[in-house]
């Protein structure tokens, strides 16, 4: 049987089993769980994969919402990467107007109910093909918790759980069907807690040592630091503790910083400079400080050889066919935000600055609130300013990243609008489109070892001598929460 026919059979299997995966996605959507609390989602996916014949390893690196599912034996070893954590404060009903399903509840504003389920679907489709075709190889699914600020993959990377992979494929809900060829920045998040001496702010301020003064002086120093770092660096913060009462010299105060940079080694340099600013603030105020590293992600390194296979997979699939009702739903969401469909198309062009032929493709769809068409990779020249723990994976094994149309063009990231679309047919169609493309890409990798070699060669060329070093200190452990009764 030709490989093209085998790909069509895999696509047909995914179409026939679509209700099973949309049901899984909807169950996770209906019960959103934030980082480190994804007990329902992880169990749902692991039990599904176990029934399909995968062996399950639980409690990976002592993370009780993380697991690895594996089927097959021998090389090559390919991985599908999944996430399933939600975001706080984004509860939303399945409708095109903003209305919380649960007041101040959480919701899947980044579409991770789709993201993880897409990986499960692709992994099982590949397993069926390996089994039916007699092809040798191993397929894994990594159930990864806490992408939104906790860094489950970083702990996995530190433990060496990605070291034997030949390639990894991952997916994210987005605004168009396209692979990513750009990068993402590295990040470190730290809390700086200052300790001083409390005193009556009116009667005996000379006896006090203000921890809040230290925080404010640190923030002033950080603001001056911004002038003396590379333009690509981002420094942002919030004061998480500013004291208890205005008439008490604050004994404690705390500030949380996020530092982003394109390269992990330069990130470390900027963090060291920020740490010196904290030391100076403590000296000036006669206080003491402690730094708590919350998380750190490495920069993402794209492998273009894998992205090119994903482009070919999308071309093999054809576009997503959205209905008139889905387009109307998306238009109503776009109408809820400033701008027009044409504005969103122009914003994409202004941000990406794509080649002329891709700009023409975007402009050809400028009137549409949903982009069902497939696009070639358009961001190879960009380093996106967001951060993800997929970066740590990409520093260890060749990684390809695919996006598919699950959200209207005007829907902001991490918004109620994304939650609404991720729980209905728009999100379902994008998710299954992504699963088909990932599965087809995996078939190409298993069937032709030159593809894996090309990805590995590109990886080795890009990584050079900069072998992976985990960005978090060895003494930091993931939190181990227990299910709420």
* pLDDT 10s digits, 353-406: 999 999 999 999 999 999 999 999 999 999 999 999 999 999 999 999 999 999
Enter the pTM of the model: 0.95
Ramachandran region of residue 111, left (φ > 0), alpha (ψ -120 to 50) or beta? left
Which pLDDT value is given to residue 354?
93
Which pLDDT value is given to residue 93?
98
Measured CA to CA, the distance from residue 235 to residue 221 in angstroms comes to 12
Task: Sketch the domain layout of the chain as residue ranges.
Answer: 3-184+299-463, 186-297
* pLDDT band, very low/low/confident/very high, at 485 (cuts 50, 70, 90): low
Is pLDDT at 55 greater than 80 in this prediction?
Answer: yes
Q: What is the mean pLDDT of residues 16-30?
A: 98
Q: Is the peptide bond before 413 cis (omega within 30 degrees of 0)?
A: no
Which three-class secondary structure state does DSSP give residue 249?
coil
Residue linked to tokens 């206080």: 287
* pLDDT 10s digits, 461-476: 999 998 999 999 999 9
Q: Do 370 and 405 touch, CB atoms closer than 8 A?
A: yes
Structure token digits, residue 192 = 């700086």
Task: Specify the CATH number of the domain 186-297.
Answer: 3.30.70.360
**What is the side-by-side order of every strand in the sheet holding 288-297?**
234-241, 252-261, 186-195, 288-297
Measured CA to CA, the distance from residue 363 to residue 345 in angstroms comes to 7
Q: Domain 3-184+299-463 classified CATH 3.40.1190.20?
A: no
Give per-residue burial for 454-481: e unless 16+ CB within 10 Å, then b.
bbbebbeeeeeeeebebbbeeebebeee
Which pLDDT value is given to residue 46?
98
Structure token digits, residue 125 = 């489709």
Measured CA to CA, the distance from residue 313 to residue 326 in angstroms comes to 24
Which pLDDT value is given to residue 177?
98
* pLDDT 10s digits, 245-303: 999 999 999 999 999 999 989 999 999 999 999 999 999 999 999 999 999 999 999 99
* pLDDT band, very low/low/confident/very high, at 10 (cuts 50, 70, 90): very high
Which three-class secondary structure state does DSSP give residue 162?
coil
Measured CA to CA, the distance from residue 241 to residue 433 in angstroms comes to 45
* pLDDT band, very low/low/confident/very high, at 484 (cuts 50, 70, 90): confident
Q: What is the mean pLDDT of residues 315-344?
A: 97
Is pLDDT at 1 greater than 90 in this prediction?
Answer: no
Q: Do 73 and 54 touch, CB atoms closer than 8 A?
A: no
Is pLDDT at 336 greater than 80 in this prediction?
Answer: yes
Q: Do 211 and 251 touch, CB atoms closer than 8 A?
A: yes
* pLDDT 10s digits, 69-96: 999 999 999 999 999 999 999 999 999 9
Nearest Cα neighbor of 108 from 172, 45, 49 is: 172
* pLDDT 10s digits, 156-209: 999 999 999 999 999 999 999 999 999 999 999 999 999 999 999 999 999 999
């Amino acid at each position: 049987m030709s490989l093209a026919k085998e790909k069509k059979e895999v696509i047909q299997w995914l179409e026939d089993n679509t209700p099973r995966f949309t049901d899984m996605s909807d169950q996770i959507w209906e019960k959103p769980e934030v980082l480190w609390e994804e007990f329902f989602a992880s169990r749902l996916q692991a039990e599904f994969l176990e029934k399909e014949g995968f062996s399950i390893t639980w409690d990976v690196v002592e993370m009780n919402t993380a697991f690895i599912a594996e089927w097959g034996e021998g090389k090559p070893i390919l991985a599908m990467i999944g996430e399933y954590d939600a975001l706080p404060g984004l509860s939303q009903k399945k409708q095109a107007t903003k209305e919380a399903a649960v007041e101040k509840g959480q919701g899947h504003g980044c579409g991770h109910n789709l993201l993880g389920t897409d990986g499960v679907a692709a992994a099982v489709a590949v397993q069926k093909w390996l089994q039916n075709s007699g092809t040798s190889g191993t397929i894994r699914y990594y159930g990864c918790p806490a992408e939104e600020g906790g860094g489950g993959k970083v702990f996995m990377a530190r433990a060496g759980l990605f070291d034997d992979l030949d390639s990894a494929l991952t997916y994210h809900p987005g605004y168009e069907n396209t692979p990513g060829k750009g990068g993402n920045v590295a990040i470190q998040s730290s809390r700086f807690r200052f300790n001083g001496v409390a005193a009556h702010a009116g009667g005996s301020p000379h006896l006090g040592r203000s921890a809040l003064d230290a925080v404010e002086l640190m923030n002033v120093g950080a603001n001056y630091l911004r002038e003396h770092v590379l333009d690509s660096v981002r420094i942002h913060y919030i004061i998480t503790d500013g004291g208890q009462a205005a008439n008490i010299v604050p004994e404690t105060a705390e500030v949380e910083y996020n530092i982003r940079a394109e390269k992990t080694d330069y990130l470390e340099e900027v963090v060291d400079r920020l740490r010196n600013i904290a030391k100076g603030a403590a000296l000036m105020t006669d206080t003491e400080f402690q730094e708590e590293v919350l998380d750190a992600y490495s920069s993402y390194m794209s492998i273009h050889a894998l992205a090119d296979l994903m482009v070919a997979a999308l071309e093999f699939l054809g576009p997503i066919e959205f209905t008139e009702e889905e387009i109307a739903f998306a238009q109503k969401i776009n109408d809820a935000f400033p701008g027009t469909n044409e504005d969103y198309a122009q914003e994409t062009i202004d941000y990406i600055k794509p080649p002329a032929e891709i700009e023409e493709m975007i402009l050809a769809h400028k009137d549409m609130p949903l982009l069902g068409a497939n696009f070639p990779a358009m961001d190879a020249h960009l380093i996106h300013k967001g951060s993800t723990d997929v970066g740590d994976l990409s520093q260890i094994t060749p990684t390809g990243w695919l996006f598919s149309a699950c959200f209207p063009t005007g829907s902001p990231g991490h918004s109620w609008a994304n939650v609404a679309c991720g729980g209905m047919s728009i999100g379902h169609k994008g998710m299954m489109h992504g699963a088909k493309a990932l599965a087809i890409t995996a078939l190409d990798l298993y069937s032709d070892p030159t593809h894996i070699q090309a990805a590995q060669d590109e990886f080795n060329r890009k990584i050079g001598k900069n072998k992976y070093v985990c960005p978090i200190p060895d003494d930091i452990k993931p939190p181990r929460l227990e299910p709420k009764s």
